[in-house]
Amino acid sequence: MAVENIISGWKKKEFKPVYWLEGEEEYYIDTAMQYAEHHILPESEASFNLTIFYGRDTNWPDVVNACRRYPMFADRQVVLLKEAQFMKDIEKLEPYFESPLASTILVIAYKDKKVDSRTKFAKMLKTKAVMVTTKKMYENQLPDWVQKMVTEKGLNINAKANALLVDHIGNDLSRLEKEIDKITVNLGTRKSITEDDIENYVGVNKEFNTFELQAAIGSRNLAKAIRIIQYFEANPKAAPIQLILPSLYSFFSKVFMIFGAGSNDEKAIASAIGVNPFFMKDYMHASKIYQYQGTERALLLLHQYNLKSIGINSTNAGDAALLKEMVYKMMS
């Protein structure tokens, strides 16, 4: 069951005694915990029937005692255990999970990790609790996620603005949501988010960013690529090399996949390699310019310069110097 399904059930007043939310993606866990804290109980009942624990500061008997208590002047109570990954002897909650109180809704946030599925405790959770394991979203899923969030706000976003936002922030869903909210506030009566809005309200230069560097390298425009790298050199926070190299590697990996796609249909290839059809022409153009050997060489160079960027086989050159050297070699 996904977190969205859990919240949907809560909105319909459908509750289970125990919810266990674990995994790498904090955004979904935080979303569920926020809803449980602020919306399951009416404000008039929450003061008596909402209990919040933090794993680092609490012991398992305190959680069990709170869960065994009956609600006051209400049909149910809510007990939240946040940061449960830091709680000692959390497995000792097992007897309560086996026989929970029907009037208590216990929601546990176990972030950044998951219980060992081989243990008795994990097997018990799967049968006795509503258990959700969250995963970090893949890069190619982010544009659709942004589009969905924007649409839910009654807005739309053009493909380039979406790409700039995702490229700048990556898969930090909480930050993506905050930036979209900030843009929404500043749009006024407008309903469309453009690359100008990303530049003005998120702080991404629409001419000098990783996305534009990728486009310049993909089209073998050396002069433009060097100008963008020089901008990065003067503005180190704009695009650290640790973000640039993975982005370029992803780009050339998808270009490389084109050679094995077995089709000339751009829409079919876009679907197969996980690229927005709007940008497919850039990938096709790069595949024609670099050909198979040039694309393979670009991937090897990206691997080599990633190692150099962390000090392996490096001559202590700065990030900008490494990027310029790599780009020269790619295009030569």
Residues 223 and 326 in one domain: yes
The verdict on 63 and 12 lying in the same domain is yes
Mark whether 16 and 73 lie in a shared domain. Answer: yes
Last residue of one domain, picked from the residues 174, 202, 230: 202
Give me the domain span that covers residue 42.
Answer: 3-134
Q: Write 187-191 long-range contacts (CB < 8 A, 24+).
A: 187/155, 191/154, 191/155, 191/156
Read off the CATH number of the domain in which 188 is found: 1.10.8.60
- Domain ends where: 91, 108, 134? 134
| Residue 152 and residue 116 in contact, taking contact as beta carbons nearer than 8 Å | no
> What's the average model confidence in pLDDT over 264-285?
87
Neighbours of 313 (CB within 10 A): 8
Domain end call among 134, 161, 179:
134
Cα separation, 211 vs 160, whole angstroms: 9
Asked whether residue 72 falls in the same domain as residue 102, the answer is: yes
pLDDT in tens, 1-20: 589 999 999 999 999 999 99
How confident is the model over 218-269, as pLDDT tens digits?
999 999 999 999 999 998 888 889 889 999 999 999 999 999 887 888 888 9
Q: Do 269 and 254 fall into the same domain?
A: yes
Parallel, antiparallel, or unpaired: how do β-strands 130-134 and 18-23 relate? parallel
289, 183: one domain: no
The residue type at 295: T
Sign of the four-CA dihedral 159, 160, 161, 163: positive
109-124 confidence digits (pLDDT tens): 999 888 888 899 999 9
